[in-house]
Chain A
Amino acid sequence: MLRYVYADQLNQCPRLKDEMFTHRADQFRTRLGWDVSVDARGHERDEYDALNPLYVIWETAEGGHGGSTRFLPTTGPVMANDHFAHLVSTPIRSPLIWECTPFCMAPGQGPNVAAALMLGGGELMNGFSIRHFVGVFDARMVRIHCRVGSSPEVLGSTGEVRGKDATGLALDFGSSIWRPRTASQRVQVSRRR
C-alpha cells in the first residue's frame, strides 16, 4: 500500500524509515555511483531530509520498503533550484509546483512499484491542486518514467550531477492515468469563470 509520511512521522514506522534510507544508499551510491553522503548506519540522507519533506512510500505486503520518493514545495529550498541552476532556468517557485526526487526502488522491485509511486504523485496533484512536479533525474530514471506512463519533459540540457550525467525535468504526472481527473478540474475552473 501507499503511505504518505512526513519526516517527523517516520519514527511511527521505524522499519520503513530504516529500509528507505538504506535502499537510497544502495541505489544512489552503490548502484548509480552518485557522490552522496551515507552515515554510519548505512543511511543516505541530505540536507533536504531535514526540512520535514513529505515521503510517498510503497509498503510491501510484508511491511517493508518497496520504493519511495520525496516531495518538497518549490517555495522553499529544493535541489533543482539550489544545485542545478545550470540545468534549468531558476529559480522555479510556486506552491503549485513541487519537487519530486528520483524514485528509490528496493532491490528486486519492478516497474509496478514505480507505477504505484506515480499514482501517489497523481493523488497529491489532485488533492492539493499541484500543477507540476520538477526534479533532477538521470537518464535511466527517465526511461523508467516513460515505461510507467508519465511523460517527463526535459527542462534543461544534460549536465553533471554528483559526478554523473543528469537531466532537469518537469514531470507530467497528469498524463494517461490521471488525465480524466485533471480534465474535470479544468472544467470546474472554467465554469467558475
Chain B
Amino acid sequence: MLVTLDNLESLLSALEQSDSLEGMQRVIEALRAHYGVAHLVYHWVDSRGDQYGCGTYSDAWRQKYLDETYLRIDPVVQGCYQRFHPVDWKRLDWSSKAAREFAKVAAEYGVGNQGFSIPIRGPNGQFALFTVNDTCDDRTWAGFTQSNRRDLILIAHYFNEKALEFEPARQPGQQQPLSPREVDAMTLIAVGYSRAQIADRLSISEHTLRVYIESARFKLGALNTTHAVARAMSRGLIVV
C-alpha cells in the first residue's frame, strides 16, 4: 500500500478536469489501484433518500443495495449521517440483527471486512460519504488509515466539490476565492521565500501563516503546498 504523492497529485488534477460522473469514476478507479485497496466509494445521499456517486463496488452489489433499500439499515450511513469526523467501521454499531445480516450479505458481494468512511456536509444539508474498504487484519488497517487519513479527508472533500459542480443550480467553475492573506502567502511561497521570511514580511506568526496555507491548499484542491502554488498560478490567482 505504498503511496507516492506525485501520482496522487496527478490523479487530483484529473479529478479537477473531469466534467462528468464518468470522469469521476475513472479517477476513483485509478485511486483504488493507487492505494491498492479493495474498494473506494463516493456516495451522495440527499435528504429525500436519493443516492448518487461513483466507486468500485460491483454492479451486483449496488443493485442489491438499492433493491433491498439497505440505506435504511447500513450502519455506515446511519452512523455517519450529519457527522463530520472520519469513522472506522469497527466503531459503528453492528449489533442489530438487520445490521449483522447486511454485513454478511455485503461480504458475499465482495465488500471487505475493514472500512474507513469520511462524512462530508455540503451546503444546504447536502451529505456524502467517501469510503475506503479493504480486507486485512486490524493492525494493518490501523496503519493504513493512520498514514493516509489526512490525504483521504482532503480527497473526500475534493470529490464532493466536483459532484456539487454537476448540480443544475451551480455555476460552472465556481471556485472558492482566496482571501487576501492567502494570496499574500501563496505569492511569497511562489517566489521562494521561507516560511519564517514570509511570516516576518506579513507581520504574522509562522503558526498563523500555516493556517492560511492550509486553508489555501484546500481551496485550491491540493494535497501539498507545491501543488497548491502551481494551481494558484495556473488559475491566475497569484502573479509572480
Contacts and interface: CB of A to CB of B under 8 A. Distances in A.
Interface residues of A, number: 35
Interface in B190-236: 204-205, 207-208, 210-212, 214-215, 217-219
A188 B143 CA distance: 10
A151 B210 CA distance: 14
A96 B154 contact: yes
Interface in B93-152: 120-121, 123, 146-150
Interface in B1-53: 3-5
* Range, interface on chain B: 35 or more
B82 interface: yes
A121 to B, nearest CB: 13
A34 to B, nearest CB: 25
A131 interface: yes
Given A129-B150, A132-B210, A153-B208, A89 B179 contact: yes
Given A153-B208, A192-B147, A97 B214 contact: yes
Contacts of B204: 155
A8 B182 CA distance: 35
A129 B151 CA distance: 9
B182 A89 contact: yes
B215 to A, nearest CB: 5
Contacts of B189: none
A95 B149 CA distance: 12
A38 to B, nearest CB: 26
Contacts of B211: 92, 97, 132, 134, 155, 170
Given A89-B181, A188-B146, A193-B5, A94 B207 contact: no
Given A91-B215, A128-B149, A153-B205, 5 more contacts: A54-B84, A89-B180, A124-B85, A153-B208, A192-B147
Interface of B: 3-5, 82-86, 120-121, 123, 146-150, 153-154, 156-157, 176, 179-182, 204-205, 207-208, 210-212, 214-215, 217-219
3 nearest interchain CB pairs? A89-B181, A94-B218, A129-B150
